[in-house]
Amino acid sequence: MSRIEKRKKQESKKRSRRKKATSFLGIFIVLLLVVSIFGAYIGYKLSKVNDNSVDISDVKGNKENGDYNGENNDSSIKKDNFVNVLLMGVDIGTPGVAKSRKRTDTIILLNYNKLIDKVNLISIPRDTYVKINGKPNKINAVHVYGGVPALVETVEKLLDINIDYYAKIDYAGFRELIDAIGGVDMKINRNMYYDDPTQNLHIHFKKGTVVHLNGKKAEEFVRWRKNNDNTGLANGDIGRISNQQLFINKVVDKIKSPEIIFKLPSILNIIPKYVETNMNIDEIIKYGTKLAKINMENIDMITLKGESGYLNGISYYFYDQSKNKDILKMIHDDDYVIIDKKSLKIRVLNATNKRGLAKNFSDFINKEGYTKTFLGNAKSTDVTKMIFYGVDENVAKVVEREFNIHNVEINAKKEGNYDIVIILGRDHDYVNN
């Protein structure tokens, strides 16, 4: 076999392991939902998921090198309002080698905000640059050298957080688990045609059809990224998240259906084989119940921002803290949510005789990312006021804090053409407040 052929074969194996990683999140969600719905009836069975778990209570990564300095970061108060679970999907290791070291092809921080009942799933790219034993490396290799505790410590240092729990998933269970719940029906929103004979992978889905996804077909659906002619998802792996969300919705619906009770024996035999976690059964039931009640609208999937580059001839993904301010605030400040600032239509009215006040304030918030501003004048008033129309209360809290206007009115329904109307009175000084 030529050097080029060997390289192609190695790259194909890497792609296979990486694509399988996208599916492990579904297994974890199924685990929590099944337990939450059927509780103690199956508790004794699933207690085996932590038979081989490791202790991470002594990991101090967040306390040693954390460098997040966000506003209102009172750890003694706010950390009690968060639960952080590190989800990791390990690859198959070296084929044919028993107990070979395994890399984490997928690393996701599940951040649960108890105060506002919201879940943030933050993907950490597998090529993220870190140091292992003082030498440059990729974060997916941390598990190889130090196992779960080392990866937990690395992520705690990276994001300056406490990680309470972890769950490690073996991808081999994905097909079995989906088959056990009876599969799901999925409407195909785009043509998906991809063939890779080296992996015996053949994805053939036609736009507009409804397909029953058994374990094999489900894996094909969540793995798909591009077609044979290179058309497909513009954002590659990041774009694949939309398919994952569709699939997870279907799985949740299936788990909540009455028929699932007849499939419990099969499910219970599969999950303990493929899930390792330090959660005990009471904690699984507790958080599984909460997860089951959360609307999918309150579950966000986000990827840490950074830049791809090279160091000593090796490609890395360089995490950039300055580009992740919103994410860092979200996982540290319990009442902070990420908002689409550019989509908010904001009417800024000058209710004083001070010329240029509305323009100056508009320039000020434009720099903060709120770019859709519309200027005007209003009847003279002493008091500044901000009115929200159809804006989520959690979003309103963020805007109130960033604009430093605390006389607010929140209307549940959208009225007129604007999401926010700001009336600048004579008491307003956006620079000095």
Query: How many domains is the chain partitioned into structurally?
Result: 2
Q: Of 332, 353, 369, which one is at a domain's C-terminal end?
A: 332
Domain that holds residue 120: 10-332
Confidence of residue 20 (pLDDT cuts 50, 70, 90): very low
Q: Residue 62 falls within a domain, yes or no?
A: yes
The pTM for the full model equals 0.66
Does 411 or 62 have the greater pLDDT score?
Answer: 411
With 50 as the cut, is the pLDDT of residue 298 above it? yes
**Shared-domain flag, residues 413 and 284:** no
Residues 244 and 183 in one domain: yes
Q: For residue 71, what pLDDT is reported?
A: 40
Q: Distance between CA atoms of 52 and 24, rounded to whole angstroms?
A: 18
Q: Which of residues 279, 309, 332 is at a domain's end?
A: 332
Q: Compute and round to an integer the Cα radius of gyration of the chain.
A: 24
Residue that is last in its domain, among 332, 351, 374 = 332
Judgement on whether residues 311 and 373 belong to the same structural domain of the protein: no
21 is a domain residue: yes
What does the pLDDT average to over 146-156? Answer: 94
**Helix 264-274 to helix 173-180 angle, to the nearest 10 degrees?**
170
* Residue 2 placed within a domain: no
345 in the same domain as 268: no
Across 179-229, the runs of DSSP E, i.e. the strands, are 184-187, 192-196, 201-205, 210-213
In-domain check, residue 432: no
CATH number reported for the structural domain that contains residue 271 in this entry: 3.40.630.190
Domain co-membership, 354 together with 293: no
Q: Does 376 score more than 50 pLDDT?
A: yes
116 and 171, same domain (yes or no): yes
**Domain-located, residue 322:** yes
Same domain for 315 and 346, yes or no, is no
Q: CA 242, 245, 246 angle in degrees (round to 5)?
A: 90
Residue tagged 């009942």 (tokens): 117
Helix 215-223 and helix 173-180, axial crossing angle in degrees, nearest 10: 120
Strands (E), 52-102: 82-90
Whether the predicted pLDDT of 415 surpasses 70:
yes
Which pLDDT score, from 0 to 100, does residue 239 have?
58
Question: In sequence order, what DSSP letters do the residues of 381-405 get, joined into one string?
Answer: -SS-EEEEES--HHHHHHHHHHHT-
Residues 364 and 383 in one domain: yes
Average pLDDT of span 349-357: 93
* 411: helix, strand or coil: strand
Least confident of 94-103, 166-175, 212-221: 94-103
- Examine the domain organization and report whether 328 and 348 are in the same domain: no
Residue 29 lies in a domain: yes
Do 208 and 149 sit in the same domain of this protein? yes
According to DSSP H, which parts of 129-236 are helical? 142-159, 173-180, 215-223
User: Is 354 in the same domain as 315?
Assistant: no
Residues 243-292: tens digit of each pLDDT: 776 887 788 778 777 888 788 788 877 777 777 888 887 887 788 777 76
Verify that 94 and 189 share a domain, yes or no: yes
